[in-house]
Structure 1
Amino acid sequence: MENNTLYKGILIGGAIGAAIVLINPSTRSKVINNLKDMSNCTSECIKLISENRSEIIEQVKESTNKISDVVREAKDDVCQIAERIEHLKKNSTEIIDTAKQVKDDLTNMTRKLRIEQGQEN
């Protein structure tokens, strides 16, 4: 019900506004000239499209194919980056684990050396 009232209000307001604008002769003349210009431009566009339909369709197809190729390549690049990140994560974890193990081994060797030196002294 509210939409109906809104639409009626828009139509009535538009009609009143159009009537007021068209009362003034210079405004009416400008509106008519602008409508003619728009009509001519629209006709020219329609004529251009109808005369060059196959070329336009071909260009749209080519553009669509290019966009599809770019999207496909971007997807492949993202997949490669994701694989490399996973590889780096795995290798980083292995390197950290190896470094911790080496640290522990060196710490144990140092303790053993100190113990042996303490026993010799």
Structure 2
Amino acid sequence: VDHIFHSEYGDRSRGAAILIRKGVSFVNESVISDTKGRFVIVIGKLCGFNVVLANVYGPNWDDPQFFCTFFAKLPHLDTYHLILGGDFNKVLQPNLDRSNPTLSTDCVQVCISCFAIYGILQIV
């Protein structure tokens, strides 16, 4: 591993990291990390392309404000490619992800809205 970017919390219950393998061309421009260990956002050049790399570990309760804050911190989406991964701890498509679909939560609605605003596609 050549680059390690992380966001950690005081106990072992949270944390997000982005690892970049040795030999992969990456130039770090800036890092945004959450003090509660919920996300890390890395802005840079990956193999010559402007990228925003983000890893999120969402709360396992309905906290729409967390997702509003997270998406608001994603910079440069008009000029950078976004690679977003992690665990949202939400079911974004209940009809695909569950045998017994349930109603959407406020968090899911915020995520779906932000995906539409920023042109983010979910790849399952």
Regarding TM over 0.5, the answer is no
> What's the TM-score, normalizing by structure 1?
0.17
Quick one: higher RCO (CA 8 Å, sep 6+), 1 or 2? 2
Larger CA Rg, structure 1 vs 2: 1
> What's the TM-score, normalizing by structure 2?
0.16
More helix by share: 1
